[in-house]
Amino acid sequence: MLILPVEVWENVIDLLVEGYTTHARSYSDGVSLRNDLIHCALVCHAWLPRAQMHLCVYIYVVGSGLSTYEKLINRMPKLCISAKELQFQNIYTGDANGTVADRTVETISHVVRIAHKLPHVHTLFVDDINLSIEHPYLPKYVTALTSIKALKFYTRTPTRLVQLAHFIAGFKNISELVLEVPIVLESNPLSLKPCYTTKSTLTRLYLLMQPGGYLLLDWLVKAHSFTTSLHILQVRFLDAISQSELALTMQSLQYMLNNCASHLKEWIFWAKIKVNDFKGIPSVSLATHSAITGLNFRVSSLWFKHALQQLKTITSKNITVIHFWYWLDETEKPALELWAELDDILDADHFSLTKVDVACVYQDVNFVWKGIGDFNRAEEFPKLLPKVYKRGLLTW
């Protein structure tokens, strides 16, 4: 083995991580990086500290695994400095009778004990925590994580809006918020919201619309001042909701968009839920959003026209990049007349486009991406958007 100073090998390990970070495209890339770092850690004692430092940047623990991680950082305190992202997931245990026990309180208690030992954690993933259970440690936990800039909260449990508001209110400095949470329908869920109203630091907001989503949208606007802060807004309609709720959600979404019209720079809209009839379901207008520079649409055939209606309302002259992905079921064929209409819209003079990225794909029930034969070949896309292609803007 070539004898070189340890600093040289440390730089090699750093470059390995940088290469994956820069060019990563999928979950498998992250797995490959982790495996490569494990191999580096096993080379020799001199390589271990640097590889271990990178391995401990992202911490993912499930339930009782938190206690194992706590023992690790007690034994090796230097690893606390490396941690940048923390994700913890609740666990459910069952007995012989089939009764399922929620271990949320136990999970939270472990997190509280290690929270103050991780001074540089800036991203927190909270997975499947049931906020309806009384958490004696939760206030301490939230207070301890003063460095958090990005909060990502996922749960399958219907949650009262007031409980979610209490939880989010403890994070004073977050700039990125991701919420995937069904909201319990209540007659007056916003009665306590004025006491949570703060000057918002949010610049990026990502929402998966689930039952009760319109209540969540209304609260977010009333509890935070988005007028000058929000730059990126993503809204996804991927899970089934009722026709009446969808109409209310679209109205609330327009209310939110109106409140961030002057500073929103990127609008991301994904929709593939089935809708029997779009009658009574309003589209959203982007007519007053003069600061938008980027658009990202991923829509099914049912939502294609809805996306076109949004594009028709745009008057901003600053839009440079548009991503347009078309989701199909396996039995569907691409709607050529809709692509022709899209081509006409994007050819309008008021767009300052430098790139139009398009794709046409379908998903099976297991969310495995597939191509659709000849239609997904490169030579087909210029036929769909000839005007855009002629201007040299098309990528796929």
What tens digit of pLDDT does each residue of 322-346 get? 999 888 765 566 677 888 899 898 8
Residue 32 vs residue 58, higher pLDDT = 58
Whether residue 209 contacts residue 241, with contact meaning beta carbons closer than 8 Å, is answered with yes
Residue 163 has pLDDT above 80, yes or no: yes
- How large is the average pLDDT for residues 222-249? 82
Whether residue 125 contacts residue 151, with contact meaning beta carbons closer than 8 Å, is answered with no
Digit-coded pLDDT (tens) for 83-113:
888 888 776 654 445 454 666 777 777 777 7
What is the reported pLDDT for 297? 93
Lowest mean pLDDT among 44-58, 294-308, 353-367: 353-367
The structure tokens 């007053």 sit at 288
CA atoms within 13 A on the CB side of 219: 25
Beta-carbon contacts of residue 216 (< 8 Å; ≥ 6 apart): 161, 164, 179, 181, 183, 207
Residue 27 has pLDDT above 60, yes or no: no
Q: Would you state the structure tokens that stand for residue 334, as one six-digit string?
A: 């691409």
**Highest mean pLDDT range out of 194-203, 272-281, 310-319?**
310-319
Please provide the average confidence, as pLDDT, over all residues in the chain: 79
What is the reported pLDDT for 195? 39
Q: Where are the domains of the chain?
A: 1-55, 265-283+294-396
Residue 299 burial class via C-beta count within 10 angstroms: exposed 0-12, middle 13-18, buried 19 and up: buried
What pLDDT band is residue 369 in, cutting at 50, 70 and 90?
A: very low
Residue 223 has pLDDT above 50, yes or no: yes
The whole-model pTM stands at 0.83
Report helix, strand and coil shares of the chain as percent, to nearest 5. Answer: 40, 20, 40
What is the reported pLDDT for 372? 40
Angle (CA) 102-108-114 rounded to 5° is 145
